Structure 1
Amino acid sequence: MTTLTATTFVSLDGVVQGPGTPTEDPRGGFDLGGWLTPCYDAVMAEYTADWFSRADAFLLGRRTYEIFAGYWPSVGGSDPVAGPLNSLPKYVASRTLTRSSWQGTAFLRDDVVRAVTELKAEPGRELQVHGSGDLLRTLMAAGLVDEHRVWVFPVVLGKGQRLFPPGTPRRSLQLVEHRTTGKGVSVQVYRTARPEDQDA
């Protein structure tokens, strides 16, 4: 069995939209993109490299995939993030994309929940989701996420798409790890409770 992990950058008030750059995700008139950059430091890079080293494959939504594909193929293979991303399989949930020049890319066009269930049934270490908020919400609703790695940044945005919007199904999580970077980013690792423990 492969473990499905989800890594998400979140503001203190729960916003996940546009963390990387000002133009990353302006949907809905969101004009606060790039909010994680002031908090980036060597400790954050160390944690990121550690987690990317555990991946056997990546699962991405269309928007996140296009952002990654526009940058990471041009980065040298010795980079701890670029190395895994460029060499390992990348599964993309998209009904519109049909081809890509990024080596190792495959598209999941139909029943994403069924396709991901089948991928998880294969032997391996981690199938990693990074960002991909819309896809992640679908996976959470289907109970397919085994572990959340939530980076909570010390910034309040007041608007933008949230990780857990109204209507998100109730689910119990178990905190298994907590780290803090020098710039005040709280890194919280949660495992999804077993179905029989959800009401405990």
Structure 2
Amino acid sequence: MGRIVAVNFVSLDEVMQAPLSSEEDRDGGFTAGGWAAATSDDTVDEVMQKATISAAGMLLGRRTYDIFAEVWSQANAADPAIAAMNRMR
């Protein structure tokens, strides 16, 4: 039987954001948008890469999907995590 792993970036005051951009979700005047990108480091990158490479598939939220769809043509297909995502359904 498979397992489902959820990876979320949640602040102590319960704000969930992706570590994709320093401009992440500033809708409605939210001034702390992008906090996850500002706190990311090499360890976070390594954990995310390992999780992505070992995954059989990914379920993306609408906003994340829209962000990926917009930039995917410029993604580095040689990157192991990008290559893994390209193999997923």
Q: Tell me the TM-score range normalised by the shorter chain.
A: 0.7 to 0.9
How many residues matched?
89
**Normalised by the size of structure 1, how large is the TM-score?**
0.39
AA partner of residue 74 (structure 1): Q
What are the ranges of 5 or more consecutive residues in structure 1 without an aligned counterpart? 90-200
Asked if residue 2 in structure 1 is aligned to residue 6 in structure 2, the reply is no
Corresponding residue for 1:13? 13
Higher RCO (C-alpha under 8 Å, 6+ residues apart): 1
Equivalent position SS for 1:66: helix
Offset, 1:59: 1.1
> Which residue of structure 2 lines up, in the alignment, with residue 40 of structure 1?
40
Question: Which is richer in helix?
Answer: 2
Per the alignment, do residues 18 and 33 of structure 1 end up closer, same or farther by CA in structure 2, a change over 3 Å counting? Answer: farther
Structure index of larger Rg: 1
Moved more, 26-35 or 3-12: 26-35
CA offsets 1:131-163 (integer angstroms, 9 cap, x no match): xxxxxxxxxxxxxxxxxxxxxxxxxxxxxxxxx
Q: Indicate conservation of the 8 Å contact 2:22/2:38, yes or no.
A: no
1:81 maps to 2:89:
no
User: Using a 3 Å threshold, how does the CA distance of structure 1 residues 55 and 80 change in structure 2: closer, same or farther?
Assistant: same
Change (3 A) 1:40 1:50: same
SS at match of 1:70: helix
Question: In the alignment, is residue 58 of structure 1 matched against residue 31 of structure 2?
Answer: no
More strand by share: 1
CA RMSD of aligned residues (A): 2.1
* Cα distance change, pair 43–86 in 1 and its aligned pair in 2 (3 A): same
Give the conservation status (yes or no) of the 8 Å contact 1:24–1:33: yes
CA distance in 2, matches of 1:71, 1:41: 22
Q: Normalising to structure 2: TM-score of the pair?
A: 0.77
Amino acid at match of 1:11: S
Structure 1 counterpart SS, 2:6: strand
Structure 1 residues 49 and 68, CA gap change in structure 2 (3 angstroms): same
